[in-house]
Structure 1
């Protein structure tokens, strides 16, 4: 019997639009890939779970009114959880929901490839879940190293995440390759 899967869509929320590092350039490709992944999972009966991040900091504070899905993201999730740490499993209620639904395989997508997406993949793997990391359905931003001053492009940050996850914490996938591995679920 194939493991039951769930798509975990992490932090695709309005809060990011109000951060100084927000870069609109990569949004169209990310949006297209994420929407294709969601549609493909839905077609196979794979539950879609939204995760929102709330930490009391500016646009990520509940009082900001920005801890809500980006306007273009379908809001018909099978479940939605709010987290207060970098991974989606520790304090959100997600882990208990996954156990209740006998889900053992997680498909990870969302915003901040190297932060909440990568951290969730690592924790999920340590907890015994099979993890599929769909990099092209994640989004991140350029970052500047605090000591050297070197700026790493979003592509370099994403490639580093792929490097450290592959074969250790997750299986790397494109949207197409991930969807091709999904058995129909009901």
Structure 2
């Protein structure tokens, strides 16, 4: 098994912007902990950054303060930076070829948001024949309300984890994943 850690959309938009992540508490600290563990085991880091295509976008406007990677993440060197414009990190990017060129067969999912970009990327990876490890407490989300209804952050997060574990990913806590590296 050869892994890469995908750090998905850990951008200021989720901290100081329009979409503050609320669940689970402490997700950023665990993301940093996972990055440190990966670095210590020479697991390649891939930072993924979402950019809105629309010039008048309400969120993730390229070049804005909210679009930038969170300072704790931006300060860490990575092996590859992927810019994406859709929820899936493989769509319209070089991520698949970058992984394949390095013989990577397993991706580890961490970052934001659980039900959108993390879930979509995990499903894409599974469809591409990659193994997926989805970190339950190092991914996060917020309450969502729209014309279909409202989902509390905790219930939305849990529903995605249950679905991921049913077919697409091995769902692990940060501690379980770090322990599996030894």
- TM-score, normalisation: structure 2: 0.89
Residue 58 of structure 2 corresponds to which residue in structure 1?
58
Residue 162 of structure 2 corresponds to which residue in structure 1?
163
Structure 1, 27-36 or 102-111: larger mean CA deviation: 27-36
Residue 39 of structure 2 corresponds to which residue in structure 1?
42
Aligned pairs for 1:101-112 (under 5 A) are 101-112=102-113
Q: How many residues in Structure 1 have an aligned counterpart in Structure 2?
A: 177
Structure 1, 160-169 or 138-147: larger mean CA deviation: 138-147
Are the counterparts in 2 of residues 8 and 50 from structure 1 also a CA contact under 8 Å?
Answer: yes
Q: Any gaps of 5 or more consecutive residues in structure 2?
A: none
Residues 126-181 of structure 1: per-residue CA shift (max 9 Å, x gap): 1000000001001100112524x4x3221111100011111300000001111222
Query: Distance in 1 between the 2:67 and 2:24 partners?
Result: 18
Could you list the runs of 4 or more consecutive aligned residues of structure 1 that deviate by over 6 angstroms after TM superposition?
none
Query: Distance in 2 between the 1:167 and 1:4 partners?
Result: 23
User: Structure 1 residues 79 and 136, CA, compared in 2 at 3 Å: closer, same or farther?
Assistant: same
Residues 105-135 of structure 1: per-residue CA shift (max 9 Å, x gap): 0000001100000000001001000000001
Residue 81 of structure 2 corresponds to which residue in structure 1?
80
Query: Distance in 2 between the 1:28 and 1:143 partners?
Result: 17
